[in-house]
Amino acid sequence: MDSQLHIFFFPYMAHSHMMPAIEMAKLFASRGCKASIVSTPANAPHIHKAIESGTNLGLEIGVLSIRFPTQEVGLPEGCENANSLTSLEMMNKFFTAVNMLDQPLEQLLMEHRPSCLVADLFFPWATDVSAKFGIPRLVFHGFSFFALCALASLLRHEPHKQVSSDSEPFVIPNLPDEIKITRNQLPDYMKEETEFSGFLKKLDESELNSYGIIVNSYYELEPAYADHYRNVLGMKAWHVGPTFLCNEEKEGYKAVRGQEASISEQECSNWLDSKKSNSVIYVCFGSLANFVDSQLMEIAMGLEASGKQFIWVVKKGKHEEGVKEEWLPEGFEKRMEGKGLIVRGWAPQLLILQHQAVGAFVTHCGWNSTLESVCAGVPMVTWPVSAEQFYNEKLVTQVLGIGVGVGAKKWARLTGDSVNREAIEKAVNLIMEGKEAEEMRSRSKALGVMASRAVQEGGSSYEDLTALIEDLRLQRHCCGSK
């Protein structure tokens, strides 16, 4: 039997799922495993680019492609990534196509017989498919331990069914801290039976039947919740993050992460280099949230009123000379010249967050963004939109004390709750200046230092990865998988 472990990684096709999975593949490869990333043809070039630095170093990482059934579900050719979906109808079609990937995956598993399959949360059928070949399946959520615990508690105890209104706060039962939330802040599929509610149950079942969970977090960030998840909820879990720290030293990685940035690394660095320490606020809402024009207008006004310098990422195309942009106040960019930088499209987020000029981050609390901010020692203005972001907000503001909420009260897929300019101005000022802001910054910095230690030899994430690899070796030895 070959002594090298061969691990399959099968991420959901969206930047925020693919990036940490690719990084995880590199992490396993750097520890002597062979890693294969399963994806679709349109996503493969990006993955090849992202793993280049690893393969150049002699790491064994490859890409295996399976066909994405765009034609069968009525999606345009090449539409193989959730980031290119522009309507609910497209999302539904995309999900249908995703659920047709079980057969091609089975074929690949049969051909390659890997030692383990790390498959995304959104592929619940992967547990059964891999069981056919005696291959252990690990689930990758991309969630924090905190969010995993909160979700498990809500699913088990259903406290949201015992309140009389959507705005009445209730406690999420049995967590290490008293965490209150409202029904408004929960996803629609938790509040009413939708197609996705059934799917959620399947996810939960497939997770319980899986070999365990792999978490992109580190112990020191959320020790009570890492313990709670394992010891109280009884889940088998390994934390190996922050995964992006394993790529830190590779030149150029920060600039190309996710997709090609709309601004050059040089231009961005030059702009930030000209600013004082902690004087710039970075505003970005991840890869999926897409605010309406009136909300963007409020953000512009709030930022201007705060008087702070900023980099603001907006999902809009290049500005055409002479064309009025409805989402910006008249003359805004002229007034803000030198003070505010608008990036239309994709920004090199890691590079920005790690620049010493950046003093705070207005974020939607996606777990990748949250973790990147924590690691850079940057406190946050929390503005959750959807997914599990309202739980992450509680972790940041209430448990870690490194952020202030902007006051978003409603979960709303893609568009978010509306927040007015005064609330934005207030939150930006609170996080950028004053004693409280200083304290939050210093707590963030301490957590950032702990993150770097966690991934180094002897650190908590490094050791948990060692334990997982040992476990998989033992498993293979006992069960005879390849």
Alpha-carbon gap, residue 255 to 410, rounded angstroms: 33
Task: Tell me if 287 contacts ligand UDP by CB under 6 A.
Answer: yes
Q: Does residue 396 interact with ligand UDP by CB under 6 A?
A: no
In the complex, least distance from residue 351 CB atom to ligand UDP, rounded to whole angstroms: 9
In the annotation, is 188 catalytic? no
Query: Of 413, 408, 362, 316, which is closest to residue 92 (Cα–Cα)?
Result: 413
The residues, ordered by sequence, that sit 6+ positions from 217 with a Cβ below 8 Å of its Cβ are 144, 145, 226, 239, 241, 242, 371
**Is residue 46 within the footprint of ligand UDP (CB under 6 A)?**
no
CB of 418 vs ligand UDP, minimal distance in Å: 18
Residue pair 289/318 in contact (Cβ under 8 Å)? The answer is no
Place of tokens 């939109």: 385
Per-residue binder mask for ligand UDP (CB under 6 A), 50-89, x = binder: ----------------------------------------
C-alpha distances (whole Å) from 25 to each of 145, 240, 285, 326 are: 21, 11, 26, 43
CA distance 254 to 148: 28
Considering only residues 415 through 474, tell me which ones interact with ligand UDP, judged by CB under 6 A: none
Give yes or no for residue 217 binding ligand UDP (CB under 6 A): no
Beta-carbon-side half-sphere exposure of residue 423 (alpha carbons within 13 Å): 16
Rounding to the nearest 10 degrees, give the CA dihedral for residues 342, 15, 122, 99: 110
Among the listed residues 28, 225, 346, 391, the single contact to ligand UDP using CB under 6 A: 346
Cα separation, 165 vs 87, whole angstroms: 30
Cβ neighbours, 10 Å, residue 131: 14
- Give the C-alpha separation, 15 to 3, whole Å: 33
Interface segment toward ligand UDP; rule CB under 6 A; list 171-179, 345-353, 406-414, 430-438: 345-353
Question: What does the longest C-alpha to C-alpha distance in the chain come to?
Answer: 69
Query: Which residue among the candidates 120, 141, 364, 464 is catalytic per the annotation?
Result: 120
Query: Is residue 243 near ligand UDP by the rule CB under 6 A?
Result: no
433, with CB counted inside 10 A (0-12, 13-18, 19+), is middle
Asked if 284 is part of the footprint of ligand UDP (rule: CB under 6 A), the reply reads: yes
Q: Scanning residues 349 to 368, which ones bind ligand UDP (CB under 6 A)?
A: 349-350, 366-368
Q: Of 22-30, 267-275, 286-294, 409-417, which segment contacts ligand UDP by CB under 6 A? A: 286-294
Cis peptide before 242 (omega within 30 of 0): yes
Active-site residue 17, yes or no?
Answer: yes
Please report how close the Cβ of residue 464 comes to ligand UDP at its closest, in angstroms: 21
Does the footprint of ligand UDP cover residue 257 (CB under 6 A)? yes
- 6, 15, 17, 46: the active-site residue: 17
Provide, rounded to whole angstroms, the least separation between the CB of residue 261 and ligand UDP.
Answer: 7
Minimal CB distance residue for ligand UDP: 366
Nearest to 470 by CA among 24, 132, 28: 28
CB of 51 to ligand UDP, least distance (A): 17
Whole-number Å distance between alpha carbons of 422 and 442: 26
Nearer to ligand UDP, 19 or 149 (CB): 19
DSSP 397: I
| Contact (CB, 8 A) for 20 and 46 | no
Rule CB under 6 A: is residue 377 a binding residue for ligand UDP? no
Report which DSSP code applies to 76: P
Size of the site for ligand UDP (CB under 6 A): 19
Q: Please say which residue, 186 or 284, places its beta carbon nearer to ligand UDP.
A: 284
Nearest-approach distance from CB 266 to ligand UDP, in angstroms? 17
By CB under 6 A, residue 302 contacts ligand UDP: no
Among 81, 184, 278, 369, binds ligand UDP (CB under 6 A): 369
Does 225 participate in binding ligand UDP (rule CB under 6 A)? Answer: no
Annotated active-site positions, please?
Answer: 17, 120
Interface residue list for ligand UDP (CB under 6 A): 15-16, 19, 257-258, 284, 286-288, 313, 346-347, 349-350, 366-369, 372
